[in-house]
């Protein structure tokens, strides 16, 4: 069962008890289109990375530079996703947790503890802790936030090549004014999330 963190101020992580903790975060819960991504990172204490922070407060250039450092210096990294179909089938929260579990299970080194950004933890075989605002508090979660964001942005730019009319490379699938206009103009493409209200309205799935 998913667990909530006890406090936004207190980090309960018993560092001395675990040798290979991983930080975990997701990117892409809010957009109207595209998969949701998650990353898991085990940092190397012997190779600290300066400047780690919540990916949302970093510029694209800084995120890219840090992503390269994380991949070079971390003991293990893994990025996974849950598809648009899975989002529509099980809802975005459960799909985000699924992507997190896949990221953790994809680590080349088996983590023995998982620090999860947010309010909920996925079902795991290892102990885990949900930490609200963890991407601003825990370096390993910050690193995961950066990898999830940069990989998802690259994925959305690839989708732009397939569906250039939507401008995915500009808004990354979020419900900007530009995106909503193109959605109304061109309708939904296969990468739009059918269970999200603006997409449902365009498809005529919501009625007064």
Q: Is 11 helix (H, G, I), strand (E, B) or coil?
A: coil
Write down the pLDDT at residue 18: 84
Write down the pLDDT at residue 204: 85
The residue extents of the domains of the chain are 15-160
Count other C-beta atoms under 10 Å from residue 180's C-beta.
16
The DSSP secondary-structure symbol of 192 reads B
- Output the tens digit of pLDDT for each of the chain's 208 residues: 334 433 333 445 565 578 899 999 999 999 999 999 999 999 999 999 999 999 999 999 999 999 999 999 999 999 999 999 999 999 999 999 999 999 999 999 999 999 999 999 999 999 999 999 999 999 999 999 999 999 999 999 999 999 999 999 999 999 999 999 999 999 999 999 999 999 999 888 765 4
**CATH number for the segment(s) 15-160:** 3.30.420.10
- Name every residue whose Cβ is closer than 8 Å to that of residue 206 and which is 6 or more positions away in sequence: 197, 200
The proportion of the chain whose per-residue pLDDT surpasses 70, expressed as a percent, equals 91
What mean pLDDT value characterizes the chain?
Answer: 91
The proportion of the chain whose per-residue pLDDT surpasses 90, expressed as a percent, equals 87
Write down the pLDDT at residue 205: 79
CB 92 within 8 A of CB 36: yes
Write down the pLDDT at residue 203: 86
In the 3-class helix/strand/coil scheme, how is 120-181 assigned residue by residue?
CCCCCCCCEEEECCHHHHCHHHHHHHHHHHHHHHHHHHHHHHHCHHHCHHHHCCCCCHHHHH
- Name every residue whose Cβ is closer than 8 Å to that of residue 101 and which is 6 or more positions away in sequence: 122, 123, 124
């Amino acid at each position: 069962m998913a667990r909530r963190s006890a406090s936004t101020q207190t980090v309960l992580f018993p560092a001395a008890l675990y040798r290979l903790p991983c930080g975990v975060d997701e990117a892409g819960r809010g957009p109207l289109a595209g998969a949701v991504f998650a990353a898991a990172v085990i940092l190397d204490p012997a190779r600290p990375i300066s400047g780690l922070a919540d990916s949302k407060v970093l510029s694209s250039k800084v995120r890219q530079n840090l992503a390269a450092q994380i991949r070079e210096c971390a003991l293990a990294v893994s990025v996974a996703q849950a598809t648009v179909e899975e989002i529509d089938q099980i809802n975005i929260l459960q799909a985000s947790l699924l992507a997190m579990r896949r990221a953790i299970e994809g680590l080349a080194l088996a983590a023995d503890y998982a620090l999860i950004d947010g309010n909920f933890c996925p079902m795991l075989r290892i102990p885990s802790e949900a930490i609200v605002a963890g991407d601003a508090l825990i370096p390993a979660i910050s690193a995961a936030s950066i990898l999830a964001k940069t990989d998802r942005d690259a994925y959305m730019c690839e989708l732009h090549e397939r569906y250039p009319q939507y401008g995915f490379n500009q808004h990354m699938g979020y419900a900007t004014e530009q995106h909503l206009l193109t959605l109304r103009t061109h309708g939904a493409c296969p990468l739009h999330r059918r269970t999200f209200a603006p997409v449902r309205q365009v498809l005529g799935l919501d009625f007064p």
